[in-house]
Structure 1
Amino acid sequence: MTPLSSSPSAELAPRADVDGRWTPRLVLLLIALAWPTQLLAAGGILGANATAGVAQAFHTTQVVWFGLTLTLVSTLLTPFVIKLGDLYGKRRVMLAMMALGALGEALAALAGSFWLVLVGRAIAGFYGPFGALSFAAVRDIFPGRLVKQASGIMGSSVGLVALVSPFLAGWLVDGWGYRGALWFLSAATAVAFALVALLIPETPRHAFDSGFDWLGGLVLGGGLTAVVYAVGQGQSWGWSDLRTLGWLSAGAVSLTAFLFVERSSPHPILDLRVLRRRPVALALTAGGLAQTVAFTMPALAILLALYPHIPGVSAGLGWTAHHNAVVSVSWNLVMFGTGLLVSRYLRHLDARRVWCAGLVVMAAGYTLVGFYHSNELELALTSCIANIGAGIVVAGAPALVVGAVSRDEQGLGSGMLNMLINLFGAIITAGAYAVLASDSTITQGTAFYHDTGYSWVFWLGALVTLVSLLLSLFIPPLRDPADEDTLPA
C-alpha cells in the first residue's frame, strides 16, 4: 500500500495520456463514467412512467413516496458521499453506491407490498449522489487539457438519455409493467458497476484527516432533506399548513445549526472556507439555477403535452405518451448535438463567455415557448431554440465549476452543485405548480390547467435563467485545468 502524503496536493494520481489527445482508453474511461451518471436521468424518466403502475398494483394513495423516498435519501447522503470520496478515493465509494443501487431496485421489483417497495427505493437512493463523484473523478483521471471537454460531453449526454428513455419506458412499462422498469434499472446499474470496476482507476485522496464529522453531515443532510420534503409537499398540504411550515422551519434551523457545528468541528464535512470565495459561490449558484431550469422545464412541457385538451377547462395538448416521445426527438437531438459541439471547443474557449451565451439563448427560448406552444410545430421550434441554450448550459456547467475550484476541492464543488440542483429543483417545481394552480379549473377533484398558467411556467424558467445570467456576469476569470499538467507534482 502506498503511504499517504502529508498534503493532498502532493498525492496526484498518474494522469492517463497526459499529452491531451483522445485515445481508445480515454474514450472507454469516459463511457464508464458517463453511463452510470446519465443512468440517474434515465431512472427519473423510467420511475415517473412506472409510478401509475405502482399505485394500481398496490391500491395506494401514497404513491408520491415512490419517487420522493429516493430523492430524500439521496439528498441526505450527499454530504457524506462527498467526504468519503475525498477520504477513501471516489472509485471505492462509487462501487459501493452502485452495488446498493442495483440491490435496492431489485428489491423494489420483487416486493409484494408497497412498504417493501419503499424500502427498496430507499436503498436505491444510495446511488443518487453519484454525480457528485463522477464529475470530480474526471478532474482526477483525465489530462488537464481534456477535463473541460470530457466534463461537457458527460453533461450534454443527458440529451441522448432524454431522447431514448421515453421510448424505452413505454416499451418496458407496456410490456412488463412497473416491475420491468425496475428490473431494467437494476440490470443497468449492475452494468455500470462492472464498467467502473474494470475500467476506472482509483482516484487520489484529497483529505487525510482520520476523523469524520458525522454530526455535521446529519445536520446538513437532514436540513436539506427537510426543506426539499416541505417544498415537495407544500402544494398538496398548502403553503400555510402547519406541516409545511414545521418542516421548513426544521430545515432552516438545521442549516443554521450546521454553520456553528462546522466551526467547532476538528474534521468538518464541508470546508466552508471554499464556499466563501466569490468565484466558487457564484459558479455554484448560477450553475445550479441554470441546470435546474434545463432539467425541469422539459418535464413540465410533458405535463402540457399529456394533459387533455378540453376547451374552457384544460389547455393541455392531449397527446399520447408515444406521440410526445416522437415530437420531443427534435429538441432532445438539438440539446445533445449542441452539447457535443460546445464540449469539443471548450478547451479553446473562455467557459464564462460560452456559459453566458447559453443562458441568453435559453432565456429567449423559454420566453418564446411561453408564447408559442399550441401545436407540434410551435412547441418543437420554440423548444429547439430553448434547448440550444440548454445544451450549452449542461455542457458548460461542469467546466464552470472546474475553473472555480482546485483539483483537491473538485469533489466539494461537484457535490455542492448536486445538492443545489436538488434544492432548486424542488423549489422551482413547486413554484411552477403553484402558478398552474392559480389559473385552473377543478373538475371532479382533478385540477385542469389553463393556457395562461402554462405560459407563466415557461416564463418562470426564463426569469430564473436571467437571474443565473446576472450572477454569472460577476464571475471573475477562471483557472484552466490544462495548467495543472504543467505544475510540478
Structure 2
Amino acid sequence: MTPMSSSPSVDLAARASVDGRWTPRLVLLLIALAWPTQLLAAGGILGANATAGVAQAFHTTQVVWFGLTLTLVSTLLTPFVIKLGDLYGKRRVMLAMTGLGALGEALAALAGSFWLVLAGRAIAGFYGPFGALSFAAVRDVFPPRLVKPASGIMGSSVGLVALVSPFLAGWLVDNWGYRGALWFLAAATAVAFLLVALLVPETPRHAFDSGFDWLGGLVIGGGLTAVVYAVGQGQSWGWSDARTLGWLAMGAVALVAFLFVERRSAHPILNLHVLRRRPVALALTAGGLAQTVAYTLPGLAILLALYPAIPGVSDGLGWTAHHNAVVSVSWNLVMFGTGLLVSRWLRRFDARRIWCAGLIVMAVGYTLVGFYHGDELQLIVTSCVANVGAGVVVAGAPALVVGVVSHDEQGLGSGMLNMLISLFGAILTAGAYAVLAANGTVVHGTAFYLDAGYSWVFWLGALVTLAALLLSLFIPPLHDPAEEDQQPEAALA
C-alpha cells in the first residue's frame, strides 16, 4: 500500500466510497482538475484576440511568435512532464506548472518590449502540457467506476469554454487592450494553482527508478518542436523553401534517432513497448486525429465568419466578432450537452460503439458544413450536427486511452495523446491554409479566400474524421477501470 502523503490535503481527507457515487468533495476535485485543463483552451482564444494589439503596441512584424513561442515550449516539455509526473507525483508537477504559467503571463503583461513579452510567453509555456497530467490524474484520484464519467465531463467542458471565451476576450481586449487578456490569464492560472494546492491530493508514483533520460526527452521534444515549427511557418516561408524543408528534416531525423536512444537508455523517458502495442497505437492515433478536428475546425471557421464579403475577391460572411460569438452559442451548447450525456453513457455502453457513432456524426456534420455555410441559419444547423459528433469525441477520447492502458501507463497514454493532438493540429492547420491559398487571391498584400476554399477546409476535416473512424474499427474491446481490483489510494470522498 502507498504510504500516506505529507500533504494535509491528502492525509486529512476521507477515502472514497467503493460504490463510486458522486460526493461534494469529488465534484470539487473535478472542478479543480477541469479549471486548469480548460484554461488552456480559453488561453488560446484570448491569446488570438490579443495578437493584433501586441503587434500594434510594439510595431513588430514578428507577432506570430506571440502564440508560437508558447506552443513550441509546451511541445518541447511534454515528454519531461509525463516522466516527472510518474516519478514524483502529478500534483507536485502541476503546482510547478501552474505557478510558472501565472508568472509568465504576468511578466508578459508587464513587459515594455516585445522580446520581454516573448520571454514571458516562453515561461507561460511550462503550463502548456497540463492536460498530459490532468486526465491521467483522474484515474489516480477517482473511484474506478467514476473514471470514465469524470474524464468525459472534463473533456466536454471545452464546450463551455468555447461558449464564454469569445465574449470574455472581446470585453477584455476592448476595455483594457492585450494587457487585459494577459492579466486575466495570469489571475486565472493563479486560481488554478490554488485549486490544485487545496483540493487535489498527491497521486501515486508510477515509476520508481531514480534515473532520468534527459537525452531522450530532448531528442523527442526537440524533434516534435522542429516539426511543429516547420509546419507553422511553412505557409509564410513556402513549402518548398529551404528553411521549411530543413526544419522538417531535422525533426524527422530527431524522431528516428529517438528510437535508437530509447533502446539504449537504462531509464527511458517513454516506454516504447507500451506504444508499440496495437490497441494503444490505434487508440492514440484515432483519438489524436479526431480531437484535432474537434478542436481545430471551429477556429478555422472563424475565418469564414470574420472575413469580408467582396464579390469575386472574398467570400467571407463579414460578421463582427461579437456577432460570431452570439451565433456560435448554439453549437457550443450542443457540444457541451452532448459531452455530458456521453459521460453518463460511458458507464453503461461499449465506449467503442459510442466513439464510432460520434465520428460518423462529426464526419457527416462537417460534410454538410462544407456544402451549407452561407448564412446564420445554415451554419447553425450544420455546425450543430458536427458538434454533436464533436461532443462525443471530446468526452470519449479519454475513455479510449483508459481502456487500452494499465493504471501505471495512464500518464504515458494521456501525454502521448496530447503530443499527437499538437502535432496533428499543426499539420491540419497548415493543410487548411494551403487549401485556402489555392482557392484565394492576394490584394494589396492581403490574402482573401473564395468559397471553394472554405468548403474544402470543412471537407478536409470530414476526411480526417473518416480516417480516425477507419482506425477505430480495429480497436479491440476496451477494459473497464471499474473492474480493476485496486482502488486508487489517493481517491477522496
For residues 13-52 of structure 1, the aligned pairs below 5 Å read 16-52=16-52
Q: Is the 8 A contact 1:15 1:140 kept in 2?
A: no
Please state whether the residue corresponding to 2:167 is helix, strand or coil.
helix
Please state whether the residue corresponding to 2:441 is helix, strand or coil.
strand
TM-score, with length taken from structure 1: 0.97
Aligned to 1:283: 283
For residues 269-418 of structure 1, the aligned pairs below 5 Å read 269-418=269-418
Q: Deviations over 1:171-197 (max 9, x none)?
A: 000000000000000000000110110
Please state whether the residue corresponding to 2:447 is helix, strand or coil.
strand
Is residue 207 of structure 2 the alignment partner of residue 207 of structure 1? yes
Segments of structure 1 that go 5 or more residues without pairing to the other structure are 5-12
The one-letter code of the counterpart of 1:113 is S
Give me the whole-angstrom Cα distance separating, in 2, the residues matched to 1:422 and 1:140: 24
Give me the whole-angstrom Cα distance separating, in 1, the residues matched to 2:113 and 2:219: 32
Give me the whole-angstrom Cα distance separating, in 1, the residues matched to 2:3 and 2:338: 44
Give me the whole-angstrom Cα distance separating, in 1, the residues matched to 2:21 and 2:488: 21
Is residue 101 of structure 2 the alignment partner of residue 101 of structure 1? yes
Give me the whole-angstrom Cα distance separating, in 1, the residues matched to 2:69 and 2:396: 30
User: Offset of 1:485 from its aligned partner?
Assistant: 4.4
Q: Deviations over 1:102-125 (max 9, x none)?
A: 000000000000000000000000
Give me the whole-angstrom Cα distance separating, in 2, the residues matched to 1:335 and 1:346: 16
The one-letter code of the counterpart of 1:234 is G
Instruction: Say if 1:146 and 1:485 are closer, same or farther in 2 by CA, change over 3 A.
Output: farther
User: Offset of 1:414 from its aligned partner?
Assistant: 0.3
Q: Is the 8 A contact 1:15 1:142 kept in 2?
A: no
Give me the whole-angstrom Cα distance separating, in 2, the residues matched to 1:168 and 1:349: 37
Q: Is the 8 A contact 2:78 2:221 kept in 1?
A: yes
Give me the whole-angstrom Cα distance separating, in 2, the residues matched to 1:32 and 1:470: 35
User: Offset of 1:486 from its aligned partner?
Assistant: 6.1
Give me the whole-angstrom Cα distance separating, in 2, the residues matched to 1:485 and 1:296: 39
TM-score, with length taken from structure 2: 0.96
The one-letter code of the counterpart of 2:259 is L
Please state whether the residue corresponding to 2:239 is helix, strand or coil.
coil
Please state whether the residue corresponding to 1:153 is helix, strand or coil.
helix
User: Offset of 1:18 from its aligned partner?
Assistant: 2.5
Aligned to 2:7: none
User: Offset of 1:2 from its aligned partner?
Assistant: 6.8
Q: Is the 8 A contact 1:342 1:395 kept in 2?
A: yes
Q: Deviations over 1:149-187 (max 9, x none)?
A: 000000000000000000000000000000000000000
Q: Is the 8 A contact 2:141 2:488 kept in 1?
A: no
Q: Is the 8 A contact 2:49 2:169 kept in 1?
A: yes
Give me the whole-angstrom Cα distance separating, in 1, the residues matched to 2:177 and 2:488: 56
For residues 168-247 of structure 1, the aligned pairs below 5 Å read 168-247=168-247
Aligned to 2:116: 116
Is residue 254 of structure 2 the alignment partner of residue 254 of structure 1? yes
Aligned to 1:8: none
Q: Is the 8 A contact 1:83 1:269 kept in 2?
A: yes
User: Offset of 1:17 from its aligned partner?
Assistant: 2.7
Give me the whole-angstrom Cα distance separating, in 2, the residues matched to 1:214 and 1:488: 29
Give me the whole-angstrom Cα distance separating, in 2, the residues matched to 1:33 and 1:188: 13
For this pair of structures, how many residues does the alignment match? 481
User: Offset of 1:344 from its aligned partner?
Assistant: 1.4
The one-letter code of the counterpart of 1:90 is K
Aligned to 1:92: 92
User: Offset of 1:487 from its aligned partner?
Assistant: 7.5
Identity of aligned residues (%): 87
Is residue 459 of structure 2 the alignment partner of residue 465 of structure 1? no
The one-letter code of the counterpart of 1:345 is W
Segments of structure 2 that go 5 or more residues without pairing to the other structure are 5-12
Aligned to 1:10: none
Q: Is the 8 A contact 1:143 1:485 kept in 2?
A: no
The one-letter code of the counterpart of 1:107 is L
Q: Is the 8 A contact 1:15 1:141 kept in 2?
A: no
Q: Is the 8 A contact 2:55 2:63 kept in 1?
A: yes
Give me the whole-angstrom Cα distance separating, in 2, the residues matched to 1:461 and 1:232: 18
Give me the whole-angstrom Cα distance separating, in 1, the residues matched to 2:80 and 2:173: 34
